[in-house]
Structure 1
């Protein structure tokens, strides 16, 4: 595949490269070369003309919730109120296999449509929904780091996990998907208010021993910070 276009790409924090009228050659899903058009041999080559566009590297989303895709734009002044009003109820739906598949397909289609080719993703506490997300990401070839959410305290009954089972399911998903093609598993304790020390230590110990990724939320608002300080006064940070 050959694409004639213009490109702009960052080289560092302070330097950006712009090249006008080049031909990008792609083979087996990888960029093989970028050639100035006046040096490219157009003989017997089929070239897609995209000179009216500027081509950029794929965008990277460092924090996104797949299972909240259908409630984007919903608002509450307070984080905890927002979670209880909208988010937890929506994430419960991810236990419905058909719904989880539908949301995953829509989510990844829209990531790619908007130029995002790499994403660090929260799913929900559902092992199956997380597995479905991995399958869809793998099918589309996107670079994805995906986590099954962990929650074992201070949560609605319908989202409250057993600490041991929560960790075991995460490990099983990690062993199945981590480092598979463009995918990685990420251990995902939601945030300190809904995770016991036992669960967080279990995740931390496993991730440290096996050099695995962890993602979480931290210090998002004053109410959350106050709650964490009250729950874990023995820790300075």
Structure 2
């Protein structure tokens, strides 16, 4: 089945921090995106491609908007959806007072399905088409999530939390049961349709060395799965890790000793990293998920993007619901810009949109599969609306460059500015548009 979309179009080809800006993206003021059976077949100028199409092919034409790949969220907790905006704590107290009691409910498969349905609908409405997702310690939480994601034909990654110490008894597993449950979930779900599995130790303080080693064993036995955990988010957390693992050289070294670093390893936060840790992350092609909304909400600190870039660390964005306070990647770009301002550093809008799309794909080792419109990529994309609100419509009247448009979207944009969301070329969110065949 051939589908054709016309409009202003943008996607990234490389990291603007590593190549010249003009070589990092492709922008078409009047472009055509051609999709066959849910896969990108061609992208180019409308004036060149329209004459090559059969005359009876319907063209969906978007005006006053921007077609671009769907956003990629590389750190988010679906079980924390209903505890978003819980007041007044920093990380460790927040976990104890809010997170753990909420996660207890996810032993119930039907509860998990209900929350997963709402969570995924919220992501799609915000223009996020792929996410790396925490479950809970309960095997049922992952079964529920993957069941709903599969029904929606989404590319999603999720894993069962591993947690065998310093946590409530009702959320504790063991090194062996965590291994066994994760192995069973990998065998059932990893690479089933568009679903992939992530081995998910919550963070070092809640995992014994034995459990971290079993996670490393799982990773070596299943090299195509992911490793997803937290790293250096909060200063009290870092001090606690030092007490719990006195023989390690630092927080990252705890994971390194268990062989958890690698091309598909994503560490959330990394707010307080030493240069030596960034160097090690870069050497191992590991990634850091930058979660500005969460870092500000919990008072954790300001991520040092320039430090990560200096050591060639793969960086992407995470909303980190529910410490993060928004599903919107546009709002996350807003927070990211401000954190870098507070570090006396500039975050260019091209760089920011790269991190939200192709940067996320690179972090997840999915470049060529999602994240841009290269031939053969899966056609998950969105349309951003320049006229979504009277304010943005009025502000856009004064734009003279693409950079200005992107910056305005990232500063005052949110879920309202996602006109449509498409999964494998099929619209799943949004209203009918001019020229659309119904």
TM-score range, shorter chain: over 0.9
Shift of 1:101: 0.7
Residue equivalent to 2:88: 76
Q: Aligned partners of 1:33, 1:169: CA distance in 2, in Å?
A: 42
The correspondence for 2:7, drawn from 5, 8, 27, is 5
The correspondence for 1:219, drawn from 215, 228, 232, is 232
Corresponding position: 1:147 with 2:149 = no
| Bigger RCO of structures 1 and 2 (CA < 8 A, at least 6 apart) | 2
| Structure 1 unmatched runs, 5+ | none
Q: Aligned partners of 1:136, 1:221: CA distance in 2, in Å?
A: 33
Q: Aligned partners of 1:228, 1:35: CA distance in 2, in Å?
A: 51
Q: Aligned partners of 2:78, 2:126: CA distance in 1, in Å?
A: 15
Shift of 1:206: 2.1
Q: Aligned partners of 2:200, 2:148: CA distance in 1, in Å?
A: 19
Q: Note the 1:15-164 alignment, pairs <5 A.
A: 15-39=24-48, 40-41=50-51, 43-164=55-176
Shift of 1:215: 1.2
Q: Deviations over 1:13-51 (max 9, x none)?
A: 222221012222222111222242223046212122212
Q: Deviations over 1:84-118 (max 9, x none)?
A: 11111111111222221111011111112211112
Corresponding position: 1:182 with 2:194 = yes
Q: Aligned partners of 2:44, 2:238: CA distance in 1, in Å?
A: 53
Q: Aligned partners of 1:44, 1:52: CA distance in 2, in Å?
A: 25
Q: Note the 1:175-214 alignment, pairs <5 A.
A: 175-211=187-223, 212-214=225-227
Corresponding position: 1:235 with 2:235 = no
Q: Aligned partners of 1:127, 1:75: CA distance in 2, in Å?
A: 29
Q: Check whether the contact 1:21–1:51 (CA below 8 A) recurs between aligned residues.
A: no
Please give the TM-score of this superposition, normalised by the length of structure 1. Answer: 0.94
Q: Check whether the contact 2:109–2:143 (CA below 8 A) recurs between aligned residues.
A: no
- Any idea what SS the aligned residue of 1:56 has? strand
- Any idea what SS the aligned residue of 2:119 has? helix
Shift of 1:125: 0.8
Q: Aligned partners of 1:231, 1:13: CA distance in 2, in Å?
A: 38
Please give the TM-score of this superposition, normalised by the length of structure 2. Answer: 0.52
Q: Aligned partners of 2:208, 2:57: CA distance in 1, in Å?
A: 60
Q: Check whether the contact 2:28–2:44 (CA below 8 A) recurs between aligned residues.
A: no
RMSD: 1.5
Q: Aligned partners of 1:198, 1:231: CA distance in 2, in Å?
A: 13
More strand per residue: 1 or 2? 1
Shift of 1:179: 1.8
Shift of 1:201: 0.6
Give the aligned length: 237
Residue equivalent to 2:322: none
Q: Aligned partners of 1:210, 1:35: CA distance in 2, in Å?
A: 39
| Structure 2 unmatched runs, 5+ | 17-23, 251-438
Q: Aligned partners of 1:119, 1:220: CA distance in 2, in Å?
A: 20
Q: Provide closer, same or farther for how the CA distance between residues 205 and 140 of structure 1 changes in structure 2, counting only shifts above 3 A.
A: same
